[in-house]
Amino acid sequence: MIKAGRAIRQVEPGTVLEVVADDPGVENDFVGWCEANRHTLLSMHEAGGVWTTRIRREW
């Protein structure tokens, strides 16, 4: 979450950030994090224990 927060501040609004993680807790974490930070959670899927999450920076 910390790395994602740093990374999203480095990109322009409207940019889509893809985050890859192997922590199953990321599913709940990113839902709340996107709501709290006013970003859009575009997609999230798991394959082989690896979560890929796409988030659009809104501001």
CATH code where residue 9 lies: 3.30.110.40
Question: Total structural domains in the chain?
Answer: 1
Phi, psi of 35, rounded to the nearest 5 degrees = -65, -45
Average of pLDDT values for 26-35?
93
Which range marks the domain in which residue 22 is found?
Answer: 2-56
pLDDT range class, residue 56, cuts 50, 70, 90: very high
* DSSP class of 15: P
Alpha carbon of 59 to those of 10, 17, 28, 41, 52: distances in Å?
Answer: 12, 13, 22, 14, 22
Q: Is the pLDDT of residue 37 over 90?
A: yes
Asked whether the predicted pLDDT for residue 24 surpasses 90, the reply is no
